[in-house]
Structure 1
Amino acid sequence: MNFADRDPALRPLLDQLLSPDDRTRIEPVLDDLGRVAANELDDLAATADRHPPVLRAYAPDGTRIDAVDHHPAYQEMSRLAFERYGLAAMSHRPGVLGWPTRVPHVVKYALSYLFVQSEFGLACPLSMTDSAARVLRLFDPERFAAEIDALSSPTLEGLATGAMFMTEKQGGTDVGQTATTATATVTPEGTHWTLSGHKWFCSNVAADLILTLARVPGQGEGTRGLGLFLVPRVRPDGTPNGLRIDRLKDKLGSRSMASGEVTLEDAWARPVGDLTRGFPQMAEMLNVSRLSNAMRATALMRRAVRESVDHTRERVVFGQRLFDQPLMRQTLLPLALHAEAGLGLVLESASRLDDADAGDPHAAALVRILTPLAKNTLCKRARQVTGEAMEVRGGNGYIEDWVNPRLLRDAHLGSIWEGSSNVICLDVLRCMTREQSHRVLAGAYVGRLAALDHPRVEPAASTLVGRWQHLRSRGEQLLAMSTFDQEAAIGAYAEDLCHAVMATLLLERAQRELAAGLGHRALLLAHTWLHWLADPRLTSPPALHVLDQVVDGGEVSAEVAQSAYDAIGTASRHHVEAGTRG
């Protein structure tokens, strides 16, 4: 088993998004990580899930130590992630996996996607270590050069893992209610800061370097009064810092990784960047963590689809393979479709992040809205896909001997961490209000649709242009509503925007593969996606008859691909053009 080889979308998308040199460099890593994820890592992940971390608050002599003990399986997974594959280091230093420069975000997310198909929990410390280094590089690189180097270490021995402690009991999502206080103390050696307060949900709770927000005296109320601070596990003099782990959380999923409650007791801290812009600086860490959440959701969907396909091909019921039975095909097709469309959206967002980091302001505006759209839509969809996959496996799917329960538990986390779905949708509304992001999206993707000139692609592209025009108009109408009505409507509108982006990306890929002589499979998927937009029940889609090619890859005829568009029908196509679902 090799997860990369079993994925019909991954390599074609990388062909499209990477330079030839980067595409060549990633291929042996895809092969290696795809094999390790499907075998060694999968076994380690199952073991770590059954043996969650344990808090050891005191040493035998009564000394407070606040240590978290992980099973050896977790330690070995950490070595694979941080050292063998450099998943936290690759965005910050050249030389990782043989890259002469920093590794592109597209590569990082593609490799992380393979890793997460077996191990979800460790992806959180990976993401926070990576994004903590990013925040320090962006806002205070000279003062924190040593910390950036430790966070991006290519070896476990030199590594400092990162974390983000934001949530407080009284505030939750409302970060403006943060009560942790920052106190400046002036000594002959200079000024230093200490933090006091309580953080309610702290993942990677025993991290070496923690970014957190605290209230700075005299700065005002709400988020304006918050500064961003870096809190080390150990003070500069080598003594333990004032961080007390009160208890570990008994979580539904992500059980391999430790989350807990932390009390800060005059914890030594250093301010990061501009103290008056603490929350905007922390938001950079939030945004990239949200994109990581979307990637993880897509990985869970892909694993769930593969499990369902393998099971139904092996299981014979009433003399026929389950996979060949029409109603089961009707069940499997949407699962495979959403997994493939989701990966396209994640890698598109990563590609735009690469462009933004290179100084492209238009790409920065795009990734600002793509990130919450992907996080909201894909994390919610993963809950449905993993739940359906559990049912496909039947009674065994509900038993912990199989991977389905773990996939289902982990999938529910994505819609909660880094902002629940409602919070993310309100962020989409904020993007629209402040930056007219619905116009940015419509302009970008209508322009890209206009460049699709293959005769077999043009009809669907024209339909999608109509959809984007209506979505832009709907956005203007939404912004003209009362605040109450805006907030009530933004959830459905955000999903419609996201579905239009994924439809556009599927058509772009179809054009590329047709132009390269790679066949009509991508066009079939793009047309089937439009069919789903018109009719969420996907009534009698032609793709049912070629489901092997949908789930495995392979050529389908031009006639089948065209029939998937014709099956939508004129009346149903109107729903697509009107920017709604049937």
Structure 2
Amino acid sequence: MNYARRDPALHAVVRRWTDGEDLQRLDALLDALGEDAAGRLDGLAATADKNPPVLRQFDRDGNRVDEIVYHPAYSELCEAAYSTYGLSALSHRGLHGWAETPPHLVKYLASYVFVQAEFGLACPVSMTDAAARVLELFGDSDVFGPWIDGLTSVDPATSMTGAMFMTEPQAGTDIAMTETVAEPRDGGWRLTGKKWFASNPDADVIVTLARFPGGEDGSTRGVGMFMVPKKLPDGSPNNFTIDRLKDKMGTRSMPSGEVTLSGAHALQVGQLDRGFVQMAEMVNTSRLSNAMRASALMRRSVRDAVDHTRDRIVFGKPLFEQPLMRATLLELCLESEASLAMVAYSAKCLQAADDGNPDSKQLIRVLTPLAKHFICKRARVVTGEAMEVRGGNGYIEEWAHARLVRDAHLGSIWEGSSNVIALDVLRCMRKFNAHRHIATTMIGVLAGLGPDCADGRSVLVRAWEDLTERGDRLLISSTDVAESGCAHYANALAQTIMQTLLFDLANHSIHSTGDYRGLLVAFAYLDRSDDVSAEALSHLGAVVDGTAVDRESALLASPLADSTVGATR
């Protein structure tokens, strides 16, 4: 078993958006990680899930220590993530054969493979990466250099982990309600307040928000960004306590807790009145990571379901050959493949944005919430359906399905619940006509497609024109109408983006390898009406395994195919 080798969607995006030495290095990394994830890491993840961390608040002499005790399986997973594969460092330094920092796509695809084994640890890995990013972007390198070095180190002796403390008992969605206060003292700051849902609470570097003297009351401009180190310069503990750990539905391997800051030493990051805007950079990075993780959960659950149906004999033949089961599996496969296409494309846009492309900066600003909103919700459905495929055993914790379902519900909650994310999409539309920017970009993608993709192009160009008009109407409607309708509209945008990207991937595969499997997948995802595509169903094995599909079969899957030559209708 190798998670990377058995993933045709992964192969497609790697070959579409990397080439040359980048392709060779990424293939080697994914191959090694794919084998490790399917074997050693998967076993460790199962053990860590059954043995969650424990908070030890006092030592035997009654001294407050707030030590979190981890099972050795989780510690070994940490070594793999932070050191062996350097997942939190890949966006900051050269690793795995890259002399310079590799493209963002490398980090997201490597993490996607890792998460198929272990989901919980991916949260602190993402926050460590994001903490280094915001300190690099907004902090003084002379001040924060040592912490940035630690956050991006792959040496267990020097590496640090990061965390993001935003949620308070009364403030999560509404950051303007933050009550933690910051007071200047001794050239730094002292923070006092309570953080209610703090994941990785024993992190070495904590990025958080607090109100500052003279700041605007009741506004996010009155909230500054601060870095709270775990240790003071003399090596003693900083002035905060971990009050208790949360008993969570999922991500049980990784601790989340309640933290009280009692005059904790902190350093200011960037401009005081730009704290929330700066924190948004960290949040957006984590949101894209959420979408990536949801995509990984889908892939793992679908692959497990497919393997089960090939082994399970029902009514005299494998379950995989039963017509209704084939229809179920096809839908799950399409959801999984489309989600990875959007995550990978977003990673490419993030890279272009970081390289200074202004169009990409606007595009990634809206792609990130769109990906989180749609993909994370679909992961809940896909993992649940995949669990059902295995029947009663799927509900048993000895199999991975139940854990995947539990973890899948998290993506729609952390870094902003779905409604908050949909409102963020609406904010982008109001600020820079994001829907029009997306439509223009996607129509440009469609314009580059070859003749075999003509049916898809014609359908999708009309879809983008309709979505543009629909978005315009949403913007001129009343506030209540716009806000109540923005979630459905965000879903339509996300799904049409994924439909477009699947045709782009198919077009690349046709011209680079002559294989039409991608076109079959694109047509099937485009036309998911009540009538299941018979052509796609007949080639389910190719969809699942990534084997070749001929041109005629792929074209017959088009919703516009001529019924006289064997169309799907």
Superposition TM-score tier, normalisation by shorter sequence? over 0.9
1:386-411 alpha-carbon deviations (Å, 9 max, x no partner): 00011000000000110000000000
- Are residue 23 (structure 1) and residue 20 (structure 2) matched? no
TM-score, with structure 2 as normaliser = 0.97
Partner SS state of residue 451, structure 2: coil
- 2:461 matched residue in structure 1: 465
Tell whether 2:201 aligns with 1:205. Answer: yes
Q: Is contact 2:555–2:561 with CA below 8 Å preserved after alignment?
A: no
Q: What does 1:253-292 correspond to in 2, within 5 Å?
A: 253-292=250-289
1:561 matched to which residue of 2? Answer: 554
Aligned counterparts of 1:149 and 1:74: Cα–Cα separation in 2: 23
The 5-angstrom pairing of residues 324-343 of structure 1 reads 324-343=321-340
Per the TM alignment, residue 104 of structure 1 is displaced from its structure 2 partner at its CA by 1.1
Indicate conservation of the 8 Å contact 2:90/2:106, yes or no: no
Question: In structure 2, what is the equivalent of residue 75 of structure 1?
Answer: 75
Residue equivalent to 1:531: 527
CA contact (8 A) 1:531 1:567 kept: no
Cα deviation, residue 568, structure 1: 7.7
The alignment yields a C-alpha RMSD, in angstroms, of: 1.2
Q: Partner of 2:109 in structure 1?
A: 110
Give runs of ≥4 in structure 1 deviating > 6 Å. Answer: 567-570
Structure 1: 5+ residue runs without aligned partners?
A: 571-582
Please tell me the residue identity of whatever aligns with 1:173.
T
Residue identity in the other structure for 2:77: M
Alignment correspondent of 1:550: 543
Distance (Å, rounded) in 1 between the aligned partners of 2:560 and 2:251: 42
Aligned counterparts, 1:141-540, within 5 A: 141-142=140-141, 143-185=143-185, 187=186, 191-221=187-217, 222-452=219-449, 454-532=450-528, 535=529, 537-540=530-533
Matched position secondary structure for 1:60: coil
SS in structure 2 opposite 1:255? coil
Counterparts of 1:156 and 1:71, CA distance in 2: 17
- Cα deviations across residues 95-115 of structure 1 (Å, max 9, x unaligned)? x11211102110110000000
- Using the TM superposition, name which of 159-168 and 517-526 deviates more: 517-526
1:172 CA displacement:
2.4
Aligned residues: 561
Structure 2 CA distance for partners of 1:458 and 1:157, relative to 1, 3 Å? same
CA distance in structure 1 between the aligned counterparts of 2:557 and 2:314, rounded to whole angstroms: 29
Greater Cα shift, 48-57 or 2-11: 2-11
Contact 1:323 1:329 in 2 (8 A): yes
- Cα distance in 1 between the residues matched to 2:562 and 2:74: 52
TM-score when normalising by structure 1: 0.95
- TM superposition shift of 1:560: 1.9
Are the equivalent residues in 1 in contact too, given 2:527–2:559 (CA < 8 A)? Answer: no
Aligned residues with identical type, % of pairs: 54
* Contact 2:339–2:375 under 8 Å retained in 1: yes
Counterpart contact for 1:202–1:262, Cα < 8 Å? yes
Secondary structure of 2:163's counterpart equals strand
Stretches of structure 2 that go unaligned for 5 or more consecutive residues are 564-569
Q: Secondary structure at the match of 1:251?
A: coil
Query: Displacement of 1:538 after TM fit?
Result: 4.4
CA contact (8 A) 1:4 1:30 kept: yes
Give the conservation status (yes or no) of the 8 Å contact 1:541–1:567: no
Report the AA paired with residue 124 of structure 1.
C
Whichever residue aligns with residue 320 of structure 2, its letter is F
- 2: CA distance between counterparts of 1:141 and 1:92? 17
8 Å Cα contact 1:232/1:268 also seen in 2? yes
SS at match of 2:409: helix
In structure 2, the residue matched to 1:578 is: none
Relative to structure 1, is the Cα distance of residues 552 and 239 closer, same or farther in structure 2, using a 3 angstrom cutoff?
A: same
TM-fit CA distance, 1:93:
1.7
Letter in 1 for 2:128: T
Q: Is the 8 A contact 1:528 1:541 kept in 2?
A: no
Distance 1:359 1:336 in 2: 35
1:5 aligns with: 5
Q: How many angstroms apart in 1 are the aligned matches of 2:340 and 2:562?
A: 28
Query: What corresponds to 1:580 in structure 2?
Result: none
Shift of residue 139, structure 1, vs aligned partner: 0.7
